[in-house]
Chains A and B, each alone.
Chain A
Amino acid sequence: MIHTQNLTRVFKRKGEAPLIAVDTLSIDVRRGEVFGFLGPNGAGKTTTIRMLAALIGPTRGTATVNGHMLGEDAAAIRRSIGILTETPGMYDTLSAAHNLHIFAQLYGVPEPEKQVEKYLRMLGLWERREDEVGGFSKGMRQKLALARALLHEPDLLFLDEPTSGLDPEAARLVRDFIEELRGQGRTIFLCTHNLDEADRLCDRIALFRTRLLVLDTPANLRRQLFGRQVVFHLRAMLPGLAETVAALPGVQEATAIDHKLLVHVDDPETQNPAIIRALIAAGADLQFVGELRYSLEDVYLQFVQSS
């Protein structure tokens, strides 16, 4: 869906050294996936989206977006993608419906009225369609901007921080909507600072800071950094228990912490039963078993801080 090869963007600055905002980025975004593009402030995420949306040109490197070569047919790229920009401005003195209508026409939507109504209803703005957008809350504006990005039914969507500044309920609504879009088979390129959200939504995640740091599924990123760890909660810790478990096949390491036994295992699905049998045979009272899940935040901080 998107294929970039050494995509680079340098900004010239007056009286200062040129700023490399994006450095030799090479990624592949697959059809139908939600692709998380994460990185700290100033990492170059918005710059990358702007390049891929044919809004600004790359300094070096190439990319194909939805089958179109960057720099060849910019209008074709723009026609085939939807974009929710970082600061999605509206014409404040015009109504919600009027705003959408303008964009439906610019995108050459065949039945603008119908599309405008469809998305206003879908995002719960139909009742407010005649109101001036200037009076809308941030959440309503964001929903309207999403509607605007979808009017022409693009199968590739760029979302630059779609839930930033939204209250939990509005953010949830937007997230559910993104899920729905994924369900329709659309490809979504998502920038967000909400790591929990990225974890829930994204099939794959790129951690990025001017350069690509790492690209994988959230589960693989965790495994790569932390391996897999299982916690066994016991009524009481028995002496020598950790050593017993550590000696079992497939167990990397076992540490006793208070009443808990933290065990690094290669494959919990096959090794947990043997560990449980060993614990019970050693006379331990097992209360709970669970996999220790590192948050994506831990993964993110590890990668970004070490970059």
Chain B
Amino acid sequence: MNTTAIATIVRKEWAEMYRNSLVLSTVIFMPLLFTALPLVILGVGSGFDSGSEALLSELPPQMASLCAGLTSGQCGQIYIVSQFMLMFMLIPVMIPATITPYSIVGEKTQRSLEPLLATPISTAELLTGKNLAAILPGVIATWLAFALFAVGARLLLASSLAFSRLFDARWLIAIFLLGPLLAVFANALAIMVSSRSNDPRVAQQVSSLLVFPVIMLFLGQMIGWIVFDTSFALILCLVFLILDIALTYLAVRIFDRETILTRWA
């Protein structure tokens, strides 16, 4: 693998992305929104400290242990905000699902793929470059949003004990493991959809359907059907790891140069 060629593709993709206001705004504003939302709730929630005993009694048992040593208000805060963790998982899904359709359909409509395939770049390098260009922003945005959220939460949460309780192993697994795995998955899906479409908006919308399972998880957790604990997070990681490996294997099998030329061009 020639890293210069890969880097050239990544830079080229980003240069084009930078000039596409639709894609750029998704990459920038969507993570900001998902960061701001839990912080606002945290900020508003710190106002009321009484009357949350009732809420506390309804919490799942593992939450109760989390709340040991905290006031009921703090506990309620943490409980509500921790529900939003899954929202963060929309970032690594949405960003590749937006970047990739524009990238691939863009090559198609501009008819720029054949000259690109005529260069000495290998198919693996080209696909790696295109994948990285979509996955990296998804992962980096997730991490940046999380860092921003952590800083904000520290400022808003008076108790450092509450803060340390907020960021437990689940969060770290979700952000640093599940996030990248989801990004890879969303991107692979977006590539397949985009190969068969000539309209980036349609391809983006179809690829974005992947947010529904995430939202279902979110709702399931809110309602209490699913307990998103460490082991559940790890199981999800395992599921997406297997899916990612399968999809990558499939993509390598499917996409030889000629397929790319006839399907993407």
**Which residues does A use to contact B, with CB under 8 Å?**
50, 53, 55-57, 74-76, 78-79, 83, 85, 87-94, 98, 102-103, 105-108, 145, 148
Contacts and interface: CB of A to CB of B under 8 A. Distances in A.
Contact of A103 (B11, B19, B115, B258): B115
A43 B236 CA distance: 54
Contacts of A105: 4-5, 8
B8 A102 contact: yes
Contacts of B4: 105, 108
B120 A107 contact: yes
B165 interface: no
A83 B115 CA distance: 8
B112 A90 contact: yes
A93 B17 CA distance: 9
Interface string B89-108: 00000000000000000010
Nearest to A75: B120
A165 to B, nearest CB: 14
B122 to A, nearest CB: 7
B121 interface: yes
Contacts of A93: 16, 19-20
A87 B118 CA distance: 13
B15 A94 contact: yes
Nearest to B114: A85
A47 to B, nearest CB: 11
B111 to A, nearest CB: 3
Contacts of A75: 120, 122
A179 B110 CA distance: 29
B8 A91 contact: no
Contacts of A108: 4, 120
B38 to A, nearest CB: 35
Contacts of B5: 105-106
Interface string B108-146: 001111111111111000000000000000000000000
B154 interface: no
Contacts of B263: none
Interface of B: 4-5, 8, 11-12, 15-16, 19-20, 107, 110-122, 257-258, 261
A57 B117 CA distance: 13
CB-based closest 3 A-B pairs = A89-B111, A89-B112, A93-B19
Nearest to B117: A55
Nearest to B110: A89
A85 B110 contact: no
A244 B120 CA distance: 67
Nearest to A105: B8
Nearest to A134: B110
Main secondary structure on chain B at its contact with chain A?
helix
Contacts of B116: 106
A148 B114 CA distance: 13
18 contacts: A53-B118, A56-B257, A78-B118, A78-B119, A79-B120, A83-B118, A87-B111, A88-B115, A89-B107, A90-B110, A91-B110, A91-B112, A94-B12, A102-B11, A106-B116, A106-B121, A107-B119, A108-B4
B115 A98 contact: no
Contacts of B113: 89
A199 B217 CA distance: 70
Contacts of B258: 55-57
Interface centre among B20, B116, B117 (most CB of A within 10 A): B117
A91 B12 CA distance: 9
A83 B120 CA distance: 12
Contacts of B117: 55
Contacts of B111: 87-89
B110 to A, nearest CB: 4
A57 B256 CA distance: 11
A105 B125 CA distance: 13
A88 B118 CA distance: 11
Contacts of B119: 78, 103, 106-107
Contact of B16 (A56, A78, A89, A91): A91
B8 A78 contact: no
A103 B15 CA distance: 14
B114 A87 contact: yes
A85 B118 contact: yes
Given A78-B118, A108-B120, 5 more contacts: A57-B258, A85-B118, A89-B110, A94-B19, A148-B115
A105 to B, nearest CB: 4
Interface centre among A102, A106, A107 (most CB of B within 10 A): A106
A271 to B, nearest CB: 51
Contacts of A79: 120
A227 to B, nearest CB: 43
